[in-house]
Amino acid sequence: MKISVRQYPGQNYVWISDEATIHRHQEIIHYLGTVAVVPIFLPAYCPFFNPIGILFGYRCNNGNSGSYLMPFVAQTFNRFNDVNMT
């Protein structure tokens, strides 16, 4: 049996990132172009497209309450299952 694995990065890959200065650096953008990776930058303050932002916000607002976070984590990521982000 022969196993084939596509090289990463490669064609048809995207890099989804926030607009942090280091992520928008021209050398980074140029490098991504040389390996056929398309950068997509999320708008500032857009937790709708960034589930980890929702989790960090929840944790920040609720402090270290000692509560078990796994149900909240699962609920947050499940919200994104049916979202069309195209």
Residues 44-57 have pLDDT tens digits of 777 667 667 777 77
- The 10 Å Cβ neighbour count of residue 58 is 13
Cα distances (Å, whole numbers) of residue 65 to 58, 60, 68, 75, 84: 11, 10, 9, 19, 34
- pLDDT tens across 61-85, in order? 776 666 677 777 777 777 777 767 6
Q: Taking the complete model, does pTM exceed 0.75, yes or no? A: no
- pLDDT tens across 10-22, in order? 567 888 887 788 8
